[in-house]
Amino acid sequence: MCCLLELVLSLLFLGSAFPQARADLLWSSRTLQQTTITASSSCIQDFQELYDLESAILDTSVNRTYVICPNKLYEVGYLDSFFHNLRQNQAGGPPLPLRSNMTIRCGDDGSIANLCFITGGHLQVDGTAMRGIDDTAIDNVLLEGFVFINASKYSFWATKRGSVTFRDCEWRDFTNTHDALIMLDYYDADNPDELVVTFENCRFHENRYFGYGSQTALIVGNSEQNRLVVQGTIFKNNNMTWNNTSPESTTHLIESLGPTILEENCFLSNSVVGSTVVVYGNEFRSTRIFSTGSAGRECAFASVYESYDQFKSRSPLCVAATKEICDLDVGLLEVPIDDNATIVRRYVPFAIGAMDYDLAKDSDLVFEGGCTKEPKLNKEDGIDAQNNVDDVCKEYGGCFISHTTPGEQVLYRFGHYDTNEDADGLVYVDITVRMASAQPKLVQLDLLYEAENDTADSWIFQTGSGGFSTYEEYTWEKLPLRGYEPVHSLVVTFLDGMVNFCMIRASYSVIEVDLGSESTSSPTNTSQTVNLQIVASEPSLSRNDTIPPTTQDFLSSGA
């Protein structure tokens, strides 16, 4: 087995493409002190919070559960050339870190219907030591309810022994992945342990082969010490023949050198060159499998190479899919991700660059400004942008919105938590925008309640006149949000135009305490009743000819 393993590895796998030099430790288990984790009153909205919480854990035998905020798009950043740290001055957070006895779930129940989208980056789920997590194992790890989209290297990469389960998760639209969606990469000649990775009730669809040099399967088991278990999972419309220019390259959905167990899965309308599944020199079990439209040139469903002679002659043992119907709910593949879904990319508190808008409408549709530092610049919507030179603005992105015209609009969707509700079910926030203009100009802010498609409140203010490079901040204070409606939109309308806009920030309002007629001089009076009261601010200006837009107005206006 050893010789066969080494031979097949040398023939079929390129191995890790990244140097194994150590990074500065994000944490070291040798230096931590044991602590008890107390559940937070709110969910985690930034993956960096996981690193901060885990940095206090020495004893990883303690079970920890982390709830990721639902209805949110999580952008993962790109790593440096050593695959250690996030690149500087770039959007996106770190990948999900894995340590033993962690449960990470989307929402309280870990359902995919809670809409946690994880997109982009080199690596989305980290089971390696590349970024300084020096634990030797990742035992008893569970991830529930996530939708993974289009990483450029790996969605999940693991190089440690242990057991990891993905339950009710989805991988879709991986079209630019240079390596593999899933890379099981544990190997230790001195330790016979395994890495066991299980997929339960998951979905892989609309993914495709990147091209020459990338791994030739969606899921790769890169040594005999990686055990793969796939149960109740759907593979649909995955194209592994796209851009396959090498006739020697046989592509698959699953390619494994380790034990592989498939139970109650459906393979629908996939395109492969070799076979749907291939296993080299190891155990393969397949029960209750439905497959249609996925046949390759080697075998209709699974190819098992039991010896090197079989591999050399390309004459595997073929294993058929025996089930005649698919009993799984293929409709689950229709989870939406578009402008009309309740998904949001930010929760209060947040501070973002003005260019990080969700929708936009420009009246002239002519791109101006010459922005070269914004990687996601969308010239199709006509929003103009210039490179940031203001030191504060630079902290929020490479470019700012410029050359604004009367009636131009940008929309920002955001969510909030109900933990800050008052007795009337309202949550109060302050909205701050950073703008500059050479002359006083009118700008309007509108809060939209999306569920009821109406405008909740509006505020019109006048900018200063210090020049296009002299920025000032304008704050709409104590803006009331309905606690029962967690998603809102804020529309910025340039009524006069000729305003530069670089940043928008939202924070929870400071609560004013009304102690009534009781004396407040004695802080030791514990019997006193304290009523929390927040007074909403009134708009500073009004303009009769301005009609606040609704969400539907904005969406239907061609934005």
* Average pLDDT of the chain, as a whole number: 78
As a whole number of angstroms, the distance between CA 43 and CA 69 comes to 5
Q: Which amino acid appears at position 282 of this protein?
A: N
Say whether pLDDT at 16 is over 60.
no
pLDDT digit string (tens) for 377-408? 555 566 889 998 999 998 888 899 999 999 89
| Cα–Cα separations (whole angstroms), residue 407 to 198, 404, 497 | 53, 9, 7
Range 464-490 average pLDDT: 88
Provide the β-strand partners of residue 27. 133
Compute the radius of gyration of the chain from its Cα atoms.
27
CATH top-level class of 350-556: mainly beta
Cα–Cα distance for residue pair 362/497, rounded to 1 Å = 11
Q: How do residues 352-376 score in pLDDT, each as one tens digit?
A: 899 988 888 876 666 677 888 765 5
Copy the structure tokens of residue 517: 């007629």
As a whole number of Å, the end-to-end CA separation of the chain is 60
Q: Give the tens place of pLDDT for each residue, 408-461.
A: 999 998 887 655 677 777 888 999 999 999 999 999 999 887 654 566 789 999
Q: Which residue has the higher pLDDT, 80 or 119?
A: 119
Q: Give residue 144's pLDDT.
A: 98
Q: How far apart are CA 278 and CA 425, in angstroms?
A: 56
* pLDDT score of 298: 85
Q: Which of 297, 267, 302, 268 is nearest to 284 (CA)?
A: 302
What is the residue whose two structure tokens read 């929003």? Answer: 383
pLDDT over 60 (residue 21): no
Backbone dihedral angles phi then psi of residue 55, each to the nearest 5 degrees: -65, -15
| pLDDT for the residue 380 | 59
Q: What residues contact 269, with CB distance under 8 A and at least 6 apart? A: 236, 237, 292, 293, 294
List of E strands, 463-497: 467-482, 487-494
Q: Is the pLDDT of residue 90 over 90?
A: no
pLDDT tens-place string over residues 208-263:
887 666 678 899 999 999 999 999 999 998 988 877 766 556 788 999 999 999 99
Q: What secondary structure letter does DSSP report for 537? A: P
